[in-house]
């Protein structure tokens, strides 16, 4: 049996070892570890770890710190991953906002900025907004946009991964036909990936919280989308169009012939999206709360009033909980996930809303559901984009070795 083929030669093995050590170092507390720590974390031998660290230091990816400590008489040299070596950006393009994050190579977010998209915006306008926001955030992180190593963009709609294009995004007029990725690549001169926003939210949940097989993630804001993790892999469907809970129709009179939607929103989004929550609040609540909602446009005020016992606000929460439970139950009956995590703007509503949802879900399902609220809130899409951008960087780093 030959063991010297190209795919398993000593050069390739050394690179695989160096990548394992690099990942362990990056994930260590303070991105710093001793050789002994890395032997434990990687399962490699001490000489292999030392060789890998030397290669990483030669490439400028790691550095040895002067500090040594004595561990049973032997000086333990400490190595540090140079997270500051490069930067990545994660971008969340929503129907009403553009959120940009710049992070170092360890995924620590150094600066972030959210720009509100003006009413009547088009795809072109979003691209302009994005350039400005990215320039500002990069400056705050001490770099210029062209210094970025890798960028990932999350967007609503159906994304064609091979062509790097948005195929369908009803929520942003003119967005679907734009060669966004090509334009960003030309400007930045680095890899730019694009992914459906909800799929990125799922990536972020798994990165920062629940590792998990058979997970359903529901992004609940103005729009509603879901992401699924099956067998520890994102499930996207045959046309990258799975998880469109926002478009299911629980409303139309059943025996009516189906009609195409009249606006960009899906039927379920019109029923329970942030816009409908605000509308119900304005219709049912008393004057002071109505004025507040009109001024801030923030449904958090409504949920706060409901939590404090305001009767009209509670009635809005109950209506929304009943509707949301109805739609979510449909997806749970079909998918039977191990757990459901709700993120997005509406997830900030807290127990006042989600306890009401849980109560109703129980009566709609055949097996109980484990419903949780995301800890990442509205940042999850951009964080998932940061993670996706970092994955692309890993390749570039190992190429240095």
**Which residues contribute to the site for a second copy (CB under 8 A)?**
1, 158, 168, 214, 226, 230-231, 233, 235-245, 247-252, 254-260, 271, 319, 322-323, 325-326, 329-331, 333-338, 360, 363-364, 366-367
Q: How far is the CB of 166 from a second copy (least distance, A)?
A: 13
| CB of 305 or CB of 340, closer to a second copy | 340
Distance from CA of residue 183 to its chain's centroid? 23
Other beta carbons within 10 Å of 77? 16
Q: How far is the CB of 281 from a second copy (least distance, A)?
A: 16
92 close to 117: Cβ distance less than 8 angstroms: no
Q: How far is the CB of 45 from a second copy (least distance, A)?
A: 18
| CB of 90 or CB of 273, closer to a second copy | 273
- What is the enclosing helix (H) or strand (E) of 387? helix 380-400
| CB of 7 or CB of 367, closer to a second copy | 367
Residues 6+ apart with CB under 8 A from 339: 210, 212, 215, 216, 369, 370, 371, 372
Helix (H, G, I), strand (E, B) or coil at 44: coil
| CB of 168 or CB of 400, closer to a second copy | 168
| CB of 29 or CB of 255, closer to a second copy | 255
Q: How far is the CB of 333 from a second copy (least distance, A)?
A: 4
Q: How far is the CB of 338 from a second copy (least distance, A)?
A: 4
Other beta carbons within 10 Å of 370? 10
Residue 58 tokens read as 């030669």
| CB of 149 or CB of 175, closer to a second copy | 175
**Integer Cα distance of 133 and 91 in angstroms:** 10
Q: Helices 180-188 and 123-140, interaxial angle, to 10°?
A: 30
Q: How far is the CB of 119 from a second copy (least distance, A)?
A: 25
């Amino acid at each position: 049996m030959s063991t010297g083929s190209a795919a398993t030669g000593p050069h390739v093995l050394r690179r695989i070892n160096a990548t394992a050590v690099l990942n362990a170092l990056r994930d260590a507390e303070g991105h710093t570890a001793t050789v002994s720590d890395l032997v434990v974390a990687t399962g490699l031998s001490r000489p292999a770890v030392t060789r890998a660290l030397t290669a990483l230091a030669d490439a400028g990816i790691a550095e040895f710190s002067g500090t040594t400590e004595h561990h049973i008489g032997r000086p333990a040299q400490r190595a540090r991953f140079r997270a500051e070596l490069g930067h990545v950006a994660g971008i969340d393009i929503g129907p009403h906002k553009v959120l940009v994050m710049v992070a170092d190579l360890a995924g620590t977010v150094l600066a972030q900025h959210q720009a509100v998209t003006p009413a009547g915006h088009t795809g072109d306008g979003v691209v302009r907004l994005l350039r400005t926001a990215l320039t500002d955030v990069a400056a705050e992180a001490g770099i210029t946009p062209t210094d970025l190593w890798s960028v990932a963009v999350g967007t609503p709609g159906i994304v064609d991964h091979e062509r790097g294009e948005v195929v369908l995004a009803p929520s942003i007029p003119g967005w679907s036909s734009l060669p966004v990725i090509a334009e960003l690549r030309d400007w930045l001169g680095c890899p730019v990936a694009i992914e459906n926003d909800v799929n990125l939210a799922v990536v972020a949940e798994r990165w920062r919280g629940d590792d998990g097989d058979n997970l359903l993630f529901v992004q609940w804001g103005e729009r509603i989308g879901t992401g699924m993790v099956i067998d520890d892999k994102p499930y996207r469907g045959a046309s990258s169009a799975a998880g469109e809970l926002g478009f299911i129709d629980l409303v139309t009179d059943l025996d009516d012939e189906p009609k195409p939607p009249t606006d960009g929103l899906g039927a379920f989004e019109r029923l329970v999206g942030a816009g409908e929550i605000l509308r119900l609040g304005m219709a049912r609540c008393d004057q002071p709360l109505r004025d507040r909602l009109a001024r801030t446009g923030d449904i958090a005020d409504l949920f706060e009033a409901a939590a404090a016992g305001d009767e009209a606000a509670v009635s809005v929460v109950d209506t929304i909980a009943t509707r949301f439970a109805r739609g979510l139950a449909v997806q749970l009956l079909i998918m039977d996930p191990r757990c459901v995590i709700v993120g997005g703007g509406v997830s900030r509503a807290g127990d006042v809303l989600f306890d009401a949802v849980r109560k109703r879900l129980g009566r709609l399902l055949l097996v109980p559901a484990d419903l949780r609220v995301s800890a990442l809130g509205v940042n999850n899409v951009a964080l998932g984009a940061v993670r996706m951008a970092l994955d692309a960087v890993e390749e570039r780093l190992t190429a240095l070795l």
